[in-house]
Structure 1
Amino acid sequence: MIDWYVFTPWSALTGGALIGLAASLLALANGRVAGISGIVGGLLQRGETGWRLAFVGGLLAAPWLYRSVSALPPMQFDAGWGTLVAAGLLVGFGTRLGSGCTSGHGVCGLSRRSPRSLAATLTFMGAGFATVFVMRHLIGA
């Protein structure tokens, strides 16, 4: 059953197109993959910080730009701070272990037909599905 109240195909399509456009422009202009973990991680090293700061600045400015044309959806967290911190640390560990994040592998790698990115994306998604199933149906959190 589709919840038509929250079904937003046009904003999702627009957002996906903008992500694809940004990833394409970064690849064409800089020859870089738009993997967020790599871009943010590169800020901690010397060199090439200008485009990285601009990219991260655009990510951080996006909600305010969106808010100027539409109301932001309400934010709701179904977990406590401890769970959110643990989840963030596990995601960070996973991006190091997988040599990239969902944006680098899922958006950029799949569009380049990378077998490694396909394996990584299937692993990310499978782990996410399994985690939601365990947390919602087995543990009941």
Structure 2
Amino acid sequence: MDAFSPIPALIGGVLIGLASALLWLGNGRIAGISGIFGQLLPPARTVVWRLVFLAALVLGALAAAWLIPGLGVGGPGGASAQLASPPAGWNIPAPLWIAISGLLIGFGTKIGNGCTSGHGVAGIARLSKRSFVAVGVFFSVAILTVAVTGIV
């Protein structure tokens, strides 16, 4: 967090908003990753655009990482990305910690009827009351998690 630079954050936010708006206006779909990914299995009628969207998401991140080495965690030339390790004293291997975290996130997005990208970017932009509540819960749980685990 020491290397915060507002210009790349602003550019990234504008690009995310633009991509979300284009998907909504061009395809009538909300850019919620859990919904896009979740409809791949079992296959929905509209699989092609979902695969294209997810492939572009991954390839865009790879291209940005290749074009600007070190982009992200510490900014250009900053610290490289690290896997989140379990809290000290929990004696859980990191891969198991990450798998459990992923399953909890998947379960949460299922019962929350969407993920942070769907509610936070598209839902709030549409002034959805449910999305405002969901984002409030996301932030509250995130703050509580940081306070309990000490992981930032």
Calculate the TM-score normalised by the size of structure 2: 0.83
Sequence identity of aligned pairs in percent? Answer: 44
Identify the residue that residue 41 of structure 1 maps to in structure 2: 38
Identify the residue that residue 17 of structure 1 maps to in structure 2: 14
Paired with 1:131 and 1:68, the residues of 2 have a C-alpha distance of 32
Moved over 6 A (4+): none
Q: 1:75 and 2:81 equivalent?
A: yes
Question: Residues 66 and 72 of structure 1 are in contact (CA less than 8 Å); yes or no, is this contact kept in structure 2?
Answer: no
Paired with 1:27 and 1:46, the residues of 2 have a C-alpha distance of 18
The one-letter code matched in structure 2 to 1:113 is: L
Paired with 1:132 and 1:86, the residues of 2 have a C-alpha distance of 17
Identify the residue that residue 100 of structure 2 maps to in structure 1: 86
Paired with 1:26 and 1:14, the residues of 2 have a C-alpha distance of 18
Question: Residues 35 and 103 of structure 1 are in contact (CA less than 8 Å); yes or no, is this contact kept in structure 2?
Answer: yes
SS of equivalent to 1:11? helix
Q: 1:29 and 2:35 equivalent?
A: no
The one-letter code matched in structure 2 to 1:77 is: L
Measured against aligned partners, the alpha-carbon deviations of 1:27-50 in whole angstroms (never above 9, x if no partner) come to 001111000000001111231011
CA RMSD of aligned residues (A): 1.5
Calculate the TM-score normalised by the size of structure 1: 0.89
Q: 1:117 and 2:131 equivalent?
A: yes
Question: How far is 1:69 from its partner?
Answer: 2.4
Paired with 1:22 and 1:54, the residues of 2 have a C-alpha distance of 13
Identify the residue that residue 91 of structure 2 maps to in structure 1: none
The one-letter code matched in structure 2 to 1:94 is: G
Alignment gaps of 5+ in structure 2: 72-79, 86-93
SS of equivalent to 1:32? coil
Identify the residue that residue 88 of structure 2 maps to in structure 1: none
Identify the residue that residue 121 of structure 2 maps to in structure 1: 107
